[in-house]
Structure 1
Amino acid sequence: MKLSIKAPAKINLSLDVLHKRDDGFHEVEMVMTTIDLADRIELTTLDEDIIKIESSGGYVPSDFRNLAYQAADLLKKECNRNEGVHITIDKHIPVSAGLAGGSSDAAATLKGLNELWDLGLSIDELAVLGAKIGSDVSFCVYGGTALATGRGEIIKSIPSPPPCWVVLAKPAIGVSTADVYRNLKLAEVEHPDIQSMVAAIERKDFNQICYLLGNVLESVTLEDYPDVSHIKNQMERLGAEGVLMSGSGPTVFGLTVHETRAQRIYNGLRGFCNEVYMVRMLGETE
């Protein structure tokens, strides 16, 4: 049997870090939403009790380091399944970009295998399992738009933002999320107004959403990686109504309601980096 499922990327409209927890994780508050840039996951059942990973993208591990592999392995153990699965990942989301590509692949694998193996798990149960794999996986299980708290695994769905264009640009560098959090000086950062962002989304107030965009991790990444700061400046210069780095970076996104402006931003950034995308805000669960 075979099943194909979409795994959309996410962006952070707000990302705040409150403090470091006793378990070593950071307490966060984030507003996340999905965008129409997605990997495509194909799951094929195998009689042999193995997990095989095949990916179209470079730098994607095909063993237990892959989050989709971990998702399948976790379901097999939790639900006592002794058959295998061949997971094919058609990559479109850039790797290590702050867009939750790996987490979304894992979430899609959980949802797809739940259907393929007829496990009967609820979406909430899948999200709890997802939290064991990574902090963003729970959000990716639900999709849509949400306020995420805890270490990112406590999800409260909120209405979708108003439709708009999203231009993303990822420079050809890698950013260590662990290093960014390690170098974050919480006493010195300006914390985004999360509740006002949620209220602006509920009102569908695009201008206010753009005004309230905020990510405390920019305080580290923009200083340590000048390429990211340069792309952000270029997006603002080219006329994006709102510009922010997603996650710990290095991807920067710009929002605009005007297709011609989005195209101009897209064209203008092509000279600065190879990985540039122009997509729509998705924002709703599929």
Structure 2
Amino acid sequence: MKLLVKAPAKINLALDVLHKRPDGYHEVEMIMTTIDLADRVELTLLERDQIHILSHNRYVPDDQRNLAYQAAELLKRRFSVKKGVMISIEKSIPVAAGLAGGSSDAAATLRGLNKIWGLGLSLDELAEIGSEIGSDVSFCVYGGTALAKGRGEIITELPAPPTCWVILAKPFIGVSTAEVYRRLDLNGTRHPNIPEMIEAIKSHDYHKVCQNVGNVLEDVTLKLHPVVAQIKDQMKRFGADAVLMSGSGPTVFGIVQHDSRMHRIYNGLRGFCDQVFAVRMLGERHTLD
């Protein structure tokens, strides 16, 4: 038995960090939405009790470091599953980009194995299991658009944002999320207005969404990697309505509504940046069908 599951990337429309928690994690409030840039995760049922990862991307680990492997291992252990799985990951989402590619692969693995191993779990149950793997995995189990709180595992569903294009640009660098959080100084930091962004999404107000994008991690990454600031400036110059770094970076995204402006930004950035994509927001939650 084989099953193909899409694993879409996410962007942060707003990302706020409130404080460091006693457990070492940071208390966050994030508004995330999935976009139409996705890895393809193919699961093949194995009769033997083994987990195999297959990927042709040299930056994707094929052992216990892989979040999809951890997802399968956790389900096997939790529910005493004696069968195995081959997890083939075809990457389209850039690695270490602030787009939750690894987390989305893990979430797709959870949803797919729930089906082929016949576990009968709900999305809520899968999201709870996902929270043990990584902070973004719970959101990626659901997909769509949501407010994420806690360390990212407390999910409140939101409506889909207004329809628009998302242009993504990732320079040929990786960013350490741990280092960005370690360097984060919340004293004097300008925090995004999360309630205003939620209201903008609920009222389907595109201009208000653009006015309220924000990411407290951005200043840290921009200082570490000036090329990210250069990409932001280029996107603004080419006419994006709003520009923001996603997650801890280094990917920058710009949003526009008009096709002509999307093409201008996309073509302008291709000569400046290694990986450029123009996609739509998805906005709708996953189902278990």
Shorter-chain TM-score above 0.5: yes
> How many Å separate the matches in 1 of 2:124 and 2:285?
14
Aligned to 1:58: 58
Q: Please list the CA deviations of residues 24-76 of structure 1 after superposition, one character each: whole Å capped at 9, or x if unmatched.
A: 00000000000000001100011111100011322000000000000000000
The aligned residue for residue 190 of structure 1 is 190
CA distance in 2, matches of 1:109, 1:196: 34
Query: Would you say how many aligned residue pairs link Structure 1 and Structure 2?
Result: 286
Per the normalisation by structure 2, the TM-score is 0.98
SS of equivalent residue, structure 2 residue 250: coil
Shift of 1:85: 0.2
1:83 Cα offset (Å): 1.1
The alpha carbon displacement at 1:260 in A equals 1.1
2:60 & 2:224 partners in 1: Cα distance? 25
Equivalent residue letter for 1:7: A
For structure 2, which runs of at least 5 residues remain unmatched after alignment? none
Partner of 1:280: 280
1:128-183 per-position Cα deviation (integer Å, ceiling 9, x unaligned): 00000000000000100000000000000010101100000000011111110011
The one-letter code sitting in structure 2 at the alignment partner of 1:211 is: Q
Q: Which residue of 2 aligns with 1:199?
A: 199
Q: Give, as a single letter, the amino acid of the residue that structure 1 aligns with 2:4.
A: S
In the TM superposition, 1:131-280 aligns within 5 A as: 131-280=131-280
C-alpha distance after superposition, 1:87-127 (max 9, x if no partner): 00010000000000000000000000001111011111100
What corresponds to 2:88 in structure 1?
Answer: 88
Measured in 2, the distance between the counterparts of 1:157 and 1:125 equals 16
**How far apart are the structure 2 equivalents of 1:260 and 1:285?**
29
Residue in 2 aligned with 1:101? 101
C-alpha RMSD over aligned residues? 0.6
Amino acid at match of 1:79: F
Deviation of 1:188 after TM superposition, in Å, equals 1.9
Q: SS of the residue aligned with 2:65?
A: coil
Question: Which SS does the other structure have where 1:49 is aligned?
Answer: coil
Q: Residue deviations 1:180-220, cap 9 Å, x none?
A: 00111101210000010000000111111011000000110
- Asked if 1:48 is matched to 2:48, the reply is yes
Is the 8 Å Cα contact of residues 214 and 244 (structure 1) preserved in structure 2? yes
1:39 is paired with a residue whose SS is strand
Q: 1:224 deviation in Å? A: 1.4
CA shift, 1:240, in A, is 0.3
C-alpha distance in structure 1 between counterparts of 2:166 and 2:56, whole Å:
24
The structure 1 segments of at least 4 consecutive aligned residues displaced by more than 2 Å after TM superposition are none
Q: Distance in 2 between matches of 1:154 and 1:160?
A: 18
User: TM-score under structure 1 normalisation?
Assistant: 0.99
Q: Aligned partners of 2:56 and 2:163: how far apart in 1?
A: 30
Matched AA of 1:13: L
Q: Give the distance between the partners of 1:90 and 1:130, measured in 2 at CA.
A: 21
Question: Matched residues in 1 for 2:51 and 2:193: separation?
Answer: 43
> Which range moves more in the overlay, 227-236 or 51-60?
51-60
Quote the residue 2:128 is aligned against: 128
Distance 1:130 1:26 in 2: 18
- CA–CA distance in structure 1, aligned partners of residues 14 and 68 of structure 2: 26
User: Given that residues 190 and 216 in structure 1 are in contact (C-alpha distance below 8 angstroms), is that contact kept between their aligned partners in structure 2?
Assistant: yes
AA aligned opposite 1:72: A
**CA deviation map 1:230-258 (0-9, x unaligned):** 00000000000010000000000000001
Q: Tell me, what secondary structure is at the counterpart of 1:102? A: helix
Q: SS at the partner of 1:17? A: strand
